Amino acid sequence: MFDDFFTRALVAGIGLALTVGPLGCFIIWRRMAYFGDTMAHSALLGVGLALFFDMNIIVSVFAVAVAVSLLLILLEKRGALSTDALLGILSHSALSIGLVLLAFMTWVRVDLINFLFGDILAVTESDIDIVWGGGVLVILSLIYLWRPLLASTVNPELAEAEGLEPQRAKIFFMLLLAAVIAIAMKIVGILLITSLLIIPAATARRFARTPEVMAVMASVIGALSVTLGLYGSLHYDTPSGPSIVVAALLIFVLSLLPVGRRLSGRDHEHRLAGAEGHSGGNGGIDE
């Protein structure tokens, strides 16, 4: 169906962008950027374990990301260190253990560049099926969790009082984030996943007047970034994954210009910022 490698890359990239847009909004609102980075770094450990035990890489990356999330929650409850410190320890430890594990496996030839920065131009039709199929499941799950997630972001205590079970919603959100990271790793790479989650959502926040509109705009901006990045990569012969992130960055910079500020206004920014102000600024792990 998709005979051209560029067409396959475009279809897969847009599918990923549409999926990560709404998730990125919650990362912005709940101040979870460092947490998302930690989960992305843990993906390399998942790759190492998959190669060592001859497992499916996507399944292994998902399992490791979930394990890191649960480990963070357990360590937080002990209260020995701050969330930021725990995130730093888990992030760099998982990345380093993954690199050491890969170095020990001398019988396996691994292209670290592809894992770190992705290779969207090498996606196959089966990869497209995984991206779009997994994306649909993630979006449907997020729609189901939208109300408890949004309520717990604005006011966890009130959400608990209303019986929305914010803790359970947060755990399910972590599972969705882990699934997206496992899917996105081959396309944009471990080091660039967080950028694609954060930058389009941060840009959309300047223009959206409601959380729902911001989620849709983040997906559209992400899809536009993929399109511009891939065409720029093709024209200038630059790495595809980083080119997509650079395109997203340029769109964000344009939104900061005076015209962008006038279009965005300030009243709705304050309303959207309210969610962040109540999230506690603790890396997204708000109990």
Query: Average pLDDT over the chain, rounded to whole?
Result: 85
Q: What is the pLDDT of residue 9?
A: 94
Which position has the higher pLDDT, 73 or 203? 203
End-to-end distance of the chain based on CA atoms, in angstroms?
A: 47
Where in the chain are the domains? 5-278
What interhelical angle do 5-29 and 267-278 show, nearest 10? 70
Say if residue 281's pLDDT is above 50: no
Average pLDDT over residues 137-145: 93
Say if residue 237's pLDDT is above 80: yes
Average pLDDT over residues 48-63: 91
Query: Which backbone phi and psi does 110 adopt, to 5 degrees?
Result: -120, 130
Lowest pLDDT segment from 154-158, 179-183, 238-242: 154-158
Q: Is residue 245 a contact partner of residue 188, using CB atoms and an 8 Å limit? A: yes
Q: What is the pLDDT of residue 163?
A: 74
For domain 5-278, the CATH architecture is Orthogonal Bundle (1.10)
- Residues 215-230: tens digit of each pLDDT: 999 999 999 999 999 9
